[in-house]
């Protein structure tokens, strides 16, 4: 009878020990948690705050608006216009096939191609760059979930083919590829900027420092010596002359004699820089700048004018034209006809070499 109370006493003591052990463990863990919290909040807060900021904060890229190009009178030759481009978040689209069919009728892209993009396991895909205002309104009217717009700047040449060879064009990435657009790309492109912001768990942009400026960074613009009216006349007459004589092409450069300023630079065949990809490199080439030509008989006028101005010759002076053949070292210069004695005026008249 004396053994029973003793066993009960041992069990009670063992239970108390276990409770005390668990309580001690919990208290120790709680103290560690408080100590760690104190360490993080008072001694390591700068480091952890930096990690958190890196995870949510972003410096969003803001593209500089490309500078304009004007003629000498301030007439626009090349400008940048802001258009809506179409993008999608495929993860938010429940019916890719239905959405593709509705969009295809508006943006003029095959539904099968759109559906393939809308079925991608990505958060962002481009559907079409540079929508027309009518297309933008039509897509908005559809009210499709997961479809959104992105504003993009597009280079536009309002005079179509006018001075196309001189102006050149830019690519999709807004980098100059031909003409003045590439020659002055550093000035026209400017420097892009950034705007601070953050992204939430859904990837939505949060502008923590207010909305970015509507215009964005601005680049330099160019004002040329070119005169739009003279350029138009030069191109019109050049096209007419090439067509009338069945020539392969032609060039006209109009300059201001006293200053040397270029007033017009026309090349034919011409091209439309708004749709430059429809042409080829041979057509893009500004032959008035890149190609070298012998001045030929046209330079006789300047040579003769200089000789008369210096009083080295007179209009009635006679020169022997070697009967159409004259040898200089190892080269023989030929005339169109076998001329004998000609006066200075006759040399110019018959274009004798």
What are the tokens at 317?
A: 């002076």
pLDDT tops 80 at residue 98: yes
- Position 1 scores a pLDDT of 47
Residues annotated as catalytic are 297
Whether the predicted model's global pTM rises above the 0.75 cut: no
Higher pLDDT, 236 or 52: 236
Quick one: pLDDT at residue 20?
83
Which of 86-90, 244-248, 308-312 holds the top average pLDDT? 244-248
Strand, coil or helix: 326: strand
Crossing angle of helices 111-118 and 96-107, in 10° steps, is 130
Q: Which of 58, 346, 337 is nearest to 207 (CA)?
A: 58
Q: Quick one: pLDDT at residue 158?
A: 95
Class of domain 61-223: alpha beta
Decide: helix, strand or coil at residue 323.
helix
Q: Report the percent of the chain where pLDDT is more than 90.
A: 30
Q: Which CATH architecture has domain 228-290?
A: 2-Layer Sandwich (3.30)
Domain locations in the chain as residue ranges: 3-43, 61-223, 228-290, 296-350
pLDDT digits 0-9 by tens, 210-259? 545 544 556 889 999 999 999 999 999 999 999 999 999 999 999 999 99
**Residue 169 contacts residue 273 (beta carbons within 8 Å):** yes
Tokens of residue 316, six digits: 């009635």
Where does the pLDDT of residue 64 fall: very low under 50, low under 70, confident under 90, or very high at 90 and above?
confident
């Amino acid at each position: 009878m004396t053994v029973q109370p003793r066993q009960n006493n041992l069990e009670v003591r063992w239970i108390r020990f276990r409770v005390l052990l668990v309580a001690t463990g919990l208290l120790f863990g709680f103290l560690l948690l408080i100590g760690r919290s104190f360490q993080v909040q008072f001694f390591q807060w700068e480091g952890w705050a930096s990690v958190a900021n890196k995870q949510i904060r972003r410096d969003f890229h803001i593209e500089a608006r490309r500078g304009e190009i004007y003629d000498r009178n301030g007439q626009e030759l090349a400008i940048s216009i802001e258009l809506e481009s179409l993008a999608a978040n495929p993860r938010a689209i429940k019916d890719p096939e239905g959405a593709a069919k509705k969009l295809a009728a508006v943006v003029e892209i095959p539904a099968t191609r759109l559906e393939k993009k809308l079925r991608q396991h990505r958060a962002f895909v481009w559907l079409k760059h540079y929508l027309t205002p009518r297309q933008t309104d039509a897509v908005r009217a559809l009210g499709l979930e997961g479809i959104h717009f992105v504003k993009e700047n597009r280079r536009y040449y309002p005079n179509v083919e006018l001075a196309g060879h001189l102006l050149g064009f830019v690519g999709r990435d807004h980098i100059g590829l031909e003409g003045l657009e590439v020659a002055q790309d550093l000035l026209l492109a400017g420097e892009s900027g950034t705007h601070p912001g953050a992204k939430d768990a859904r990837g939505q942009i949060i502008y923590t420092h207010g909305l970015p400026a509507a215009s964005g960074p601005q680049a330099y613009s160019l004002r040329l010596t070119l005169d739009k009216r003279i350029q138009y006349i030069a191109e019109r007459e050049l096209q007419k002359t090439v067509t009338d004589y069945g020539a392969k092409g032609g060039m006209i450069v109009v300059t201001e004699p006293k200053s040397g300023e270029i007033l017009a630079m026309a090349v034919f065949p011409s091209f439309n820089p708004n749709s430059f990809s429809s042409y080829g490199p041979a057509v893009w080439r500004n032959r008035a700048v890149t190609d070298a030509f012998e001045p030929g008989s046209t330079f006789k006028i300047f040579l003769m004018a200089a000789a008369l101005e210096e009083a080295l010759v007179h209009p009635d002076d006679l020169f022997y034209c070697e009967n159409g053949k004259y040898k200089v070292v190892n080269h023989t210069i030929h005339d169109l006809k076998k001329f004998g004695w000609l006066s200075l005026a006759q040399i110019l008249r018959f274009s004798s070499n």
